Structure 1
Amino acid sequence: MKLYLDPGHGGSDPGAQGNGMNEKDINLDIALQIRKILTSEYSDADVRMSRTDDSTKNLTQRTNEANSWGADYYLSIHCNAFNGSAQGYEDYIHSSLSDSSTTAAYRDTMHEEITKVNQLRNRGKKKANFHVLRETTMSALLTENGFIDNAHDAALMSDPSWRQSVARGHVNGVAMAFNLQEKEDNGTLYKIIAGSFQSRENAENRVDHLQSNGIESFILTVTISGEQWYRVQAGAFLNRENAETRLQEVQNAGVEDAYIISEDS
């Protein structure tokens, strides 16, 4: 499967701006992590990126490159901005496509997997006449991963582990949509995160809830935008299938926003 991965904006084009951040930087970090996860964990994923650094590339160059390469899927990574009050995740396919199209089916899978892990308000599945959706000869999706000018979303964007989780959601969607085959041993540790709280008492309540359901967990402290958060971890596994099983157990226990992050072991 040939994936053309497009971190939006770059170079002289910063994209949306807010809370001391540029969209181009968030897009690039998420995309680089998508490539890293795909190439390290799947045997049949070939990834080409429109940019791998802070360089300028126009829209026509991006779509021409994907078309010439013969990509199977075009995935464009973006963040949003509006008026500071809007927040959440949304994604787009081209406005000419029906909801029963192959591209829409891929998008349905991607949308479900990304919204499982991104801790953002779900703004829904949308359509638009964006260049990268219109001028590509393969199925294409553009994701808008939060509003950079919104305090809630920006706090998440500034956290490297959140960007990794968003990348993981994109990878999970691509892998499921295209039936990718996992490598036998990728040296990755999969951790189940069962909640992040600013109050330690709330984190302790989550641990008590999980343990009452027979699920061992513990609290880690992380710093996001200079503030301390308490993260509840409910297991770590070398085998992703085992991690998915534990994730399902945690979700069945009522923690529906639990998700998996990966780290090199």
Structure 2
Amino acid sequence: MAKFKVLIDPGHGGKDPGAVDNGILEKDIALKVSLGIKARLEATYEDVQVLLSRSTDVFLELKERTNKANGAGADILVSIHCNAGGGKGGFETFRYTSASANSVKLQETLHKAIMSKLGGIDRGQKAQNLHMVRESKMPAVLTENLFVDVAADADRLKQASVINAIIDGHVQGIATYLGLKRTKEDKPVTQERDINVPSKWAETTWKEVTDKGFFDGTRPGATVTREELGTVVSRLLKYVDKKG
């Protein structure tokens, strides 16, 4: 059983498209981002289960959404939206007007992580009397991910790299807030070489210098000390003298 439960709420859906402009429906972006967060968070981190208020294009009342989160005993709730009517556009987050200290911490952590990935205009961390952050019994934040009615933002929302940045920002923020551990460490894979076997590219040369007595043929892959190098130079000088 997962140690942490995260409720991701894709805003709007079904008969409620949310904000619509520049060929973008808010409900579609919200669902795409939410599904991405669930897949990436569960694949990358241990002990976390991501629940979705909706996983398809269906309509849910606001109360149904918070009831799902409260009934599931979610540790945090993040509601995903796009914005409209914002002039120059940008990114912003919301908590409840009298939010708990943990909600404030979640907002700060999420906001910072998403902005670091997304870039652009930072409209700030705000407080508002919104149902999703008011009626949830756990730390809750609502994110407004760019403006569909601002041409520059709309163009960005049509780019897969920007959607990925939004997803990654949410994943990083949630993982940081909950203190999640990665499923595996990102360490480079190294292979120990056998020092007694010459590398393929050096086989011919190694045989040549061994046949001429510069090396004794042992440990071709080992490092050379200064005194061993001195021995090789001495042998080389004797070889040159013979040839002279």
TM-score (norm 1): 0.68
SS of 1:77's partner is: strand
Q: 2:174 matched to which residue of 1? A: 174
**Deviation (angstroms), 1:166:** 0.6
Question: What is the Cα deviation at residue 119 of structure 1?
Answer: 2.5
Residue 3 of structure 1 and its aligned partner are, at CA, apart by: 0.3
2:90 is matched with 88
Contact 1:120/1:153 (<8 A) preserved: no
Correspondence 1:1-265 to 2 at 5 A: 1-82=4-85, 85-97=87-99, 101-184=101-184, 239=186
Counterpart-to-counterpart distance in 1, 2:79 and 2:175? 16
Instruction: Tell me, in whole angstroms, the C-alpha distance in 1 between the residues paired with 2:93 and 2:145.
Output: 8
Structure 1 counterpart of 2:34, one-letter code: A
**1:197 maps to what in 2?**
none
SS at match of 1:53: coil
Per the TM alignment, residue 106 of structure 1 is displaced from its structure 2 partner at its CA by 1.5
Shift of 1:144: 0.2
Quote how far apart the aligned CAs of 1:157 are: 0.4
Backbone CA RMSD of aligned residues: 1.4
SS class of match (1:152): helix
Q: Which has the higher strand share?
A: 1
Rounded to whole Å, the distance in 2 between the matches of 1:184 and 1:139 is 28
Q: Displacement of 1:137 after TM fit?
A: 0.5
* Residues 219-263 of structure 1, C-alpha deviations (whole Å, 9 max, x = no match): xxxxxxxxxxxxxxxxxxxx3x88xxxxxxxxxxxxxxxxxxxxx
- Report the CA distance between 1:105 and its aligned residue: 1.1
Instruction: Note the C-alpha offset of 1:122.
Output: 0.2
**CA deviation profile, 1:68-120 (whole Å, cap 9, x unmatched):** 1100000000000006x33000000000126xx12101111111100001132
The 3-state SS of whatever aligns with 1:117 is helix
Mapped to 2, the partners of 1:140 and 1:5 lie a distance apart of: 10
Larger C-alpha radius of gyration, 1 or 2? 2
Partner Cα separation in structure 1 for residue 118 and residue 46 of structure 2: 26
Question: 1:134-155: per-residue Cα shift (whole Å, max 9, x none)?
Answer: 1100010000001100011001
Number of aligned residues? 185
Task: Answer yes or no: is the 8 Å Cα contact 1:16–1:80 preserved in 2.
Answer: yes
Cα distance in structure 1, aligned partners of 2:128 and 2:179? 27
The residue type paired with residue 30 of structure 2 is N
Higher relative helix content: 2
Partner amino acid for 1:78? H
Q: CA deviation at 1:46?
A: 0.6
Hey, what's the Cα distance between the residues in 1 that align with 2:144 and 2:54?
18
**2: CA distance, partners of 1:7 / 1:151:** 23
- The whole-number CA distance in structure 1 between the counterparts of 2:178 and 2:99 is 19
Whole-Å Cα distance in 1 between the matches of residues 116 and 9 of structure 2? Answer: 22
Query: Which deviations, in whole Å up to 9, do the C-alpha atoms of 1:147-177 show, x marking residues without a partner?
Result: 1000110011011221011100000000001
Q: Distance in 2 between matches of 1:106 and 1:77?
A: 14
Unaligned runs of 5+ in 2: 189-244
Q: Distance in 2 between matches of 1:125 and 1:119?
A: 15
Q: Which 4+ stretches in 1 moved above 3 angstroms?
A: none
Q: CA deviation at 1:53?
A: 1.0
